[in-house]
Amino acid sequence: MAPTGSDIRPVTTAPSSDTDASWSPDGRWVVYSSNYGGLPTPNILVVPAESGTPIRVTRDDTHADGAPSWSPDGKWLAFESHLGQDEDTPSALWRIPVPEGVCDEEFHVYLPLALTTSSDLSAVNDFLYQLQNLDLTAIGDTAYDLVIMDYSAEGDDETAFTPAQIAALQHSPGGARIVLAYMSIGEAENYRFYWDEGWDADGDGQPDAGAPPWLDVENPHWEGNYKVRYWDPAWQTIILSYTNRLLSAGFDGAYLDIIDAYEYYAEQGRATASQDMADFVAAIRAHARASDPNFAVFPQNAPELAAEIPAYLSSVDGIGQEDIYYGYDDDDVMTPPAITAELEGYLDLFRNAGKLVLTVDYATTPAHVDDAYAKSQAKGYVPFCTVRDLDQLIINPGHEPD
């Protein structure tokens, strides 16, 4: 309202408890605490001062976040937070970067905007896929539209990237970009937060007595990766907890690996293996979107699942496919044309449904790289060529990100 008490206008209108309002330095936004959307505890949100759709900033359903304040330079929000709904629980002070947005020249305010929309994905014409040796500053200096990376420098919670680091990558000197976090859902990795060394203490690749029933044998081709009975509710709970970590860090979406685990279990006689996997992917997306309606989900490989389970297409925002042109038999070796044609037929189901199709080929020979890019782009896909270890920031000459 005006200082005189006139011109009273509603800013928020949802049936929620909205408190602790504070202005942004340029007066265009209001930050506040709210249980908007039925949250079990209040979180921090921002909303245009002229009213509009609130944008959630903090994402922790176990802590109550309140009393937010914008920093004078507009780049940070400070707030108090305590565990649970009991207001007498001791609070601590936290700060979080104002997420995604544009810079106001006068105040240098980074105003929150949602990046991960279908239109943003459709504008992606280059991407980076790197899981190891991550240098976020170097990646941020590139112009890649989309980055697929690990949520952690070493794959564990101790070296997990902070929300500030992810926000800085999303809005770095090279430009705004979408950032997806790699997450294996069809195999367990023995360096992740959920792993218990007692599950395979002798390292023979066989689960020990007392290991959870969802844990299966080690993948003979990838040491430390164990097959899982992915339909088991206990494993799915772990993956949803993993997803919460990605949400809390501010990732725009998840890049799901080992979707093709369903093929292994179908061969083992599980008749519902494909439906189980499609349902699992749908559950991950639904869980994430309850907190972030724009959270994107990209499975990697197994595009034939869309032909077997048509509803699968509505559960994903895109797909990544490895080895479609080079690498199927060996790195830098052309994939057999029959395999390429089969994969393209399935990927076209995604493309025709308006999904973003990413292709990953393991080739470094310039002629092979050029060939992979040309074939992928001719199909309306988005190509990238790199090394199998995914440990280098690759910019292919002649195919630089723009």
- The domain segmentation of the chain, as residue ranges, is 18-97, 118-186+230-385
Alpha-carbon torsion (386, 390, 395, 399), positive or negative: positive
pLDDT at 100: 54
pLDDT at residue 285 in the model: 94
Return the pLDDT at 33: 95
Max Cα-Cα span within the chain: 76
pLDDT of residue 99: 60
Superfamily covering domain 118-186+230-385: Aldolase class I (3.20.20.70)
Residue 114 has a pLDDT of 37
Burial of 46 (0-12, 13-18, 19+ CB in 10 A): buried
DSSP codes of every residue in 76-107:
EEEEEEEESS-TTSPPEEEEEE--S--B-TTT
Q: How would you class 284 by CB atoms within 10 Å of its CB: exposed for 0-12, middle for 13-18, buried for 19 or more? A: buried
Which DSSP symbol is given to 61? T
Instruction: Answer for the pair 41, 61: CB distance below 8 angstroms, yes or no.
Output: yes
- Predicted local distance difference test score (pLDDT) of residue 118: 39
**Averaged pLDDT, groups of 10, the chain, 402 residues long:** 86 89 88 90 88 82 90 87 83 80 35 41 94 97 97 94 93 93 97 95 93 96 95 96 94 97 97 97 93 93 97 96 98 98 97 96 98 98 98 98 95
DSSP 294-319: T-EEEEBS-TTHHHHSGGGGGG-SEE
Beta strands 296-299 and 253-257, pairing class: parallel
In degrees and rounded to multiples of 5, residue 165 shows phi and psi of -65, -40
